[in-house]
Each structure stands twice: as C-alpha cells, then as structure tokens.
C-alpha cells in the first residue's frame, strides 16, 4: 500500500493538447513519488487502495547514489508487466521544489520538467481512453502540493 497524500478531480474531461501542471515539494529524505492519471474509482474500492484503472503512472525514484530512475506504467486491474524504466533527468535533487507538466494526447502523454520550452523529457503511449481520465492522485513522499493547474485553452499553455 502506498500513501496517497493528494487527489484532484479534473474539472472537465481531458482532450487532445490539454496540459496539467503540478508544483510541489517532497518530504525530507524522500525515496519516491508518483503522479497517477486515474479512471473513475468504483465505489467499493476504498480511498487508501490503489484504483483498479490507472491510464498513466509516472513514478520518480531517488537513489542515495546517482540520480535515480523514472518508471512509467499503467494499470488495468493489474499493473502492466512491462513497465518503462528511464534515467531520472527531470528532478534530480529531491530537496528542491518540483514542477512537472503533462501534455495530454489521444495516443500518448508527454512529460516536461520545469517548463515546456524544450523537447519532452518522457513520453508514454496510452492504452486507455484519454477522455475517461477523471482524477489525478499523487502518492508516496509528497509533502505539499503548491499548485495544480488544468490548462484547457491551447493558446495559453501551462
């Protein structure tokens, strides 16, 4: 079981090109945290239990030595067996505040550390319908969410 310190409901169904910006801080000696784009949680699933349907799981793991890694995955009742593991290039100092932007597309999610003025740091192919995502959950060592912004106006990026 993972701690789930923060949950936010999408104000409207996400569409192609929408963005989500999250700014926050981590607990002292953080080991990991994740951002999860979830489909509706069945009423019988308690809040402390991982939802059965997660369209996108973006997890940052910090190592005592080195920069750590990023794991990308999805959950359709069970976690997908082939998670995508990459080097952590977006947020290497767990003691500093983080800013992460997720750009949503029908086929994939693009992830940007700090701003969108560069190529995406990560990309992940979606297997579940984008428009069915209704909630974002932040898990594990998140201390504080300072800002979460849902950007639907494509002329004004996050």
Please write the tens of the pLDDT for every residue from 99-144: 999 999 999 999 999 988 999 999 999 999 999 999 999 999 999 9
Inter-residue contact 83 to 74 (CB < 8 Å): no
Task: With residue 87 as reference, give the H or E element that holds it.
Answer: strand 84-87
The domain ranges of the chain are 6-156
Residue 147 has pLDDT above 90, yes or no: yes
- Global pTM value: 0.92
Q: Which residues pair with 33 in a beta bridge?
A: 60, 140
Residue 21 has pLDDT above 80, yes or no: yes
Q: In the prediction, which pLDDT does 47 show? A: 81
Domain 6-156 listed as CATH 2.60.120.200: yes
Task: Give the other-Cβ count within 10 Å of 13's Cβ.
Answer: 12
Task: Give the other-Cβ count within 10 Å of 82's Cβ.
Answer: 7
Strands 135-140 and 142-151: unpaired
- Between CA 42 and CA 54 the distance in angstroms is 12
Question: 77: alpha, beta or left, given left = phi > 0 and alpha = psi -120 to 50?
Answer: left
- Between CA 56 and CA 65 the distance in angstroms is 27
Q: In the prediction, which pLDDT does 156 show? A: 57
Inter-residue contact 35 to 100 (CB < 8 Å): yes
Place of tokens 């080097």: 87
Q: In the prediction, which pLDDT does 144 show? A: 94
- Between CA 73 and CA 9 the distance in angstroms is 21
Which residue has better confidence, 60 or 63?
60
**pLDDT, tens digit (0-9, with 9 covering 90-100), for 63-97:** 987 779 999 999 999 999 999 999 999 999 999 99
Integer angstrom CA distances of residue 42 from 6, 52, 77, 126? 18, 8, 12, 21
Residue 154 has pLDDT above 70, yes or no: no
Residue 157 has pLDDT above 50, yes or no: yes
How is residue 79 written in tokens?
A: 């976690």
Q: In the prediction, which pLDDT does 48 show? A: 83
Using pLDDT thresholds of 50, 70 and 90, give the confidence band for residue 8.
very high
């Amino acid at each position: 079981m993972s701690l789930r310190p923060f949950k936010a409901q999408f104000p409207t169904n996400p569409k192609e090109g929408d963005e989500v910006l999250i700014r926050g801080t981590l607990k002292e000696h953080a080991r990991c945290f994740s951002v999860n784009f979830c489909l509706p949680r069945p009423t019988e699933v308690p809040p402390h239990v991982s939802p059965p349907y997660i369209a996108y799981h973006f997890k940052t793991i910090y190592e005592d030595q080195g920069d750590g890694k990023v794991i990308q995955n999805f959950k359709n009742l069970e976690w997908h067996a082939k998670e995508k593991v990459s080097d952590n290039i977006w947020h290497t100092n767990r003691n500093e505040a983080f800013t992460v932007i997720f750009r949503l597309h029908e086929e994939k999610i693009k992830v940007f550390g700090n701003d969108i003025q560069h190529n995406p740091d990560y990309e992940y192919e979606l297997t579940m319908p984008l428009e069915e995502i209704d909630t974002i959950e932040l898990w594990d060592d998140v201390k504080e969410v300072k800002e979460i912004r849902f950007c639907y106006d494509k002329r004004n990026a996050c």
